[in-house]
Each structure stands twice: as structure tokens, then as C-alpha cells.
Amino acid sequence: MAIITFPLPRPRLPQMPLSVVLVAILFVVIVVLAVLAPWIAPQDPNDQSLLARLRPPGYTYRDVTYLLGTDDLGRDLLSRVLYGARISLAVSVLSVAVSTVVGVSLGMVAGWYRGWVETLIMRAVDIMMSIPAILLAVLTVAVLGPGFIKLVLVLGLTRWPRYTRVAFGQTLTVAGLPFIRASELAGAGAGRILIHHILPNIAGPILIVATAEFGLMILFESGLSFLGLGIQPPTPSWGSIMSVGRQYLERAPWIVFVPGACLFLLVFSVNVLGDWLRDWIDPRSRSR
């Protein structure tokens, strides 16, 4: 008998449509700029020059060219936006991570065990969702005091109920499918089934929630920073830059416009990549 060997299919490189590739490049560029901020920023982001305040993009003062203009204290907007990207990215990524982990685990546990566990978790979700998240965040920060880690925890721990709702509903659906019963009857324990079989099958909808939340986190961070409860000045974040710029919207619109455009591009790219990732998780759509 002739032995024919087939090359084993290696895990393929993700095949992206061109539009997604462009968006991915955009996302990578933003992340790289944020990471490299200390090396590429033309100025110290906190260096004030009161004589050059509220100057438009391209303004040169004492041999220093402010490519994107200056803010109300004459600080270089480009440098502040670059540094601010670090804070905004870190806050949103970490807080989304915290709320995803907390929310999804609770939702899966509630959907798997049902009974009093479900009642306990899902009623807690109802209570959490009936309180405005921003109010909860304000209260918590007011008690704990501001700070980067506290901000991440506050945002993460107030936003988990949305993930729990989605994870709970999806777990209910998937847990009723025959293959879950099959692996239970093959002797798999609850932990194994939840992590290896249910989680991958509910990841799509959760990813959608997470990408939507990602942009919201940056906005919440700016809201809290605006109230003086988030990132403390002079540390720049996109939110705090925008909240300062709001007062000078007529005289110096670039202060709001530049970080706003960056925020838009970042959230847009995250959403597009999230959509693509959700489709890519499903092997049925991958092998085309």
C-alpha cells in the first residue's frame, strides 16, 4: 500500500481582509506611539510656557515648534497626547480585563450551577445595573481616593454586570447543547467543561461587549479625571486633556480635537478588530 502523507495543517496565520489589515496597522501604530512616547515626544509633556499658551498647531516660539499647538498652560499638545495615550490605553485595557474576568466568571458560574448561585449572582447584577456606573465610580473614588490602580479597579469592578448578563445567557444556551452533556458523560468536571468547552463557545458575544466597553472606559476615565477623581494633573490622559480643552473650545479647538480624534481612531480600530476576531474564533468561518 502506498503511503501518502498529508502535510499537517499548521495553525494558519490570520487571514485578514485588506480593510481589517489597514485598521490593524492603525491600531498597532497607536499602541507603538504610546509605548514609545518617552523617546519620541518632542517636549516634556509637563513643561509649561505661559507665554505660548493656547497657540495653534505649527506655532514656533523661541525655536520650539509646537506641531499640534499648545494647551492652556503652554504645554506641547503633541507630547501630552502621546503621553496621554499611555494612560488612556492602560486604564481602558486593564479595566476591561478586570471587568471581563470578574463578569464572565460570575456569569458562567451562575449559568452552569443555576439554583441559589444564579439567584445570588444575577440579583447582584440587577442591583449593580440599577445604580448608574459613573455614580458608583464617583462614590468609590471619593472614599478610596484617586490613583491609577484604584481607577482601574473602580472602573473594572463597576462594569462587570454587563459581561455577567451576556455570559449568563450564553452559558445557559451552550450548556443545553448535546456536546456539553456528552463531555459531562465522558467524565469531565465542571471546571474543565466551563473553561475548555463553554468559554470558547461564548467568547464571540463577550468580545463584542468588551470592545464596546473599551471605548466607554476611556470616556469614563476622562469623566472621572474631569471631576478630579481620576488621573491627577499634571499627568496627561486623553480624557483630562479634553476636559481642560472644553473650556477653550472656541479659542483653541485643537486641544479637544486632537485627543478626540485619537480616541475616535482607537475605539474605531478596536471595534473593527473585535468584530473580525469574533468571526475568526469560529473555525467554520475561518476555513474559507
Partner 1 sequence: MSDGTGSDGARTLTAEGLSVEIGGARVVDDVSFIVRPGRVMALVGESGCGKSLTAYAILGLLPPAARLAGGRIRLGDTELLALSNRSLRHIRGREIAIIFQEPSASLDPLTTIGSQVAEAYRLHHDVGRAEAMAKARDMLADVGISDPDRRLHQYPFELSGGMCQRVMISIALINSPKVLVADEPTTALDVTIQAQILDLMKKLVAEHHTSIVFITHDMGVVADIADEVAVMYAGRIAEIAPVQALFSSPRHPYSALLLASVPRLDAAAKAELPTIEGTVPTAEEFGPGCRFADRCPLADQQCRTEQPPLFDCGTGHRAACWHIDRIGELSKQGTRVTA
Applying CB under 8 A, the residues found at the interface with partner 1 are 5-6, 8-9, 114, 177-179, 181-189, 192, 196-197, 200-201, 281-284, 287
Residue among 42 and 204 whose Cβ is closer to partner 1: 204
Give the DSSP per-residue string, 223-284: HHHHTTSSSPTTS--HHHHHHHHGGGTTT-THHHHHHHHHHHHHHHHHHHHHHHHHHHHSHH
Residue among 123 and 181 whose Cβ is closer to partner 1: 181
Residue among 199 and 262 whose Cβ is closer to partner 1: 199
Cβ neighbours for 160, distance < 8 A, ≥ 6 positions apart:
98, 99, 100, 102, 103, 106, 128
Element (H, E) at 64: strand 64-66
CB of 192 to partner 1, least distance (A): 8
Residue among 181 and 251 whose Cβ is closer to partner 1: 181
Residue among 126 and 282 whose Cβ is closer to partner 1: 282
Residue among 12 and 62 whose Cβ is closer to partner 1: 12
CB of 165 to partner 1, least distance (A): 22
CB of 1 to partner 1, least distance (A): 13
Amino acid at 173: T
The three-state secondary structure class of 60 is strand
CB of 189 to partner 1, least distance (A): 6
Rounded CA separation 189/68 (Å): 58
Residue among 60 and 119 whose Cβ is closer to partner 1: 119
CB of 171 to partner 1, least distance (A): 14
- Largest CA-CA distance found in the chain, in angstroms, rounded: 87
What is the signed CA dihedral for 102, 195, 114, 94, rounded to 10 degrees?
10
CB of 137 to partner 1, least distance (A): 35
CB of 9 to partner 1, least distance (A): 5
User: Is 254 exposed, middle or buried (CB count within 10 Å of its CB: 0-12, 13-18, 19+)?
Assistant: buried
Rounded CA separation 220/151 (Å): 10
